């Protein structure tokens, strides 16, 4: 079974992708398992640019077909911020809780109906030969007034999913992995991989 490299050091993403990609005819491996320590800087202005940049760089480096994603949270009341800077919103070394605290502080006084937001995810798959393709997923929600739930990671505790009546961090994993931005992008992956292998 061929290997597919997950180009991330984020343990939350790795856990989700291991579940989401369980049915692919690939053996998933990680940067840590492949003893790769290089960090590819996300210097792009869009999710797609960053995802392609990482996928192509690590595919060249390892000789493996590589999956990389870039994802973010866009809040309407903050003109789309934190967006492509979601992971660095509170600084390079900030924890998830620091980013959530800063987001809630920025939204202090903003009423419920104006706290609309969306998670976006672009997945790029690249081959060592330099071929790359992308797919996209999105999930709509509202930023809650406080953190709720123990599951997930990142902004999940404050991302309220209206039709489920709870935050992403409160959802059972099997439901999150059907409706999340990452799940929706992942549903297109087998077609993408087939296209790249042609």
CA distance 36 to 150: 30
Of the candidates 157, 152, 154, 155, the one whose C-alpha atom is nearest the C-alpha of residue 172 is: 152
CA distance 90 to 101: 9
| 70 catalytic per annotation | yes
Helix or strand holding residue 132 (H, E): strand 132-143
CA distance 171 to 177: 9
Please identify which of the residues 70, 76, 156, 163 carries the catalytic annotation: 70
The catalytic residues are 70
């Amino acid at each position: 079974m061929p290997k597919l490299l997950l180009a991330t050091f984020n343990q939350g993403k790795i856990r989700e992708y291991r579940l989401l990609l369980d049915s692919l005819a690939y053996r998933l491996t990680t940067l840590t398992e492949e003893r790769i320590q290089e960090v590819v800087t996300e210097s792009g202005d869009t999710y797609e640019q960053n995802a392609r940049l990482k996928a192509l760089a690590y595919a060249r480096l390892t000789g493996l077909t590589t999956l990389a994603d870039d994802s973010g949270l866009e809040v309407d009341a903050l003109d789309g911020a934190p967006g492509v800077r979601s992971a660095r919103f509170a600084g390079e070394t900030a924890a998830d809780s620091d980013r959530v605290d800063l987001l809630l502080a920025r939204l202090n006084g903003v009423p419920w109906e104006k706290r609309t937001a969306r998670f976006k995810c672009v997945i790029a798959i690249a081959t060592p030969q330099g071929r790359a393709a992308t797919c996209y997923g999105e999930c709509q929600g509202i930023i809650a007034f406080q953190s709720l739930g123990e599951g997930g990671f990142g902004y999940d505790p404050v991302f309220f999913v209206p039709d489920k009546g709870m935050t992403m961090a409160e959802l059972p994993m099997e439901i999150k992995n059907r409706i999340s931005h990452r799940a929706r992008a992942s549903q297109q992956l087998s077609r993408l991989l087939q296209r790249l292998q042609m």
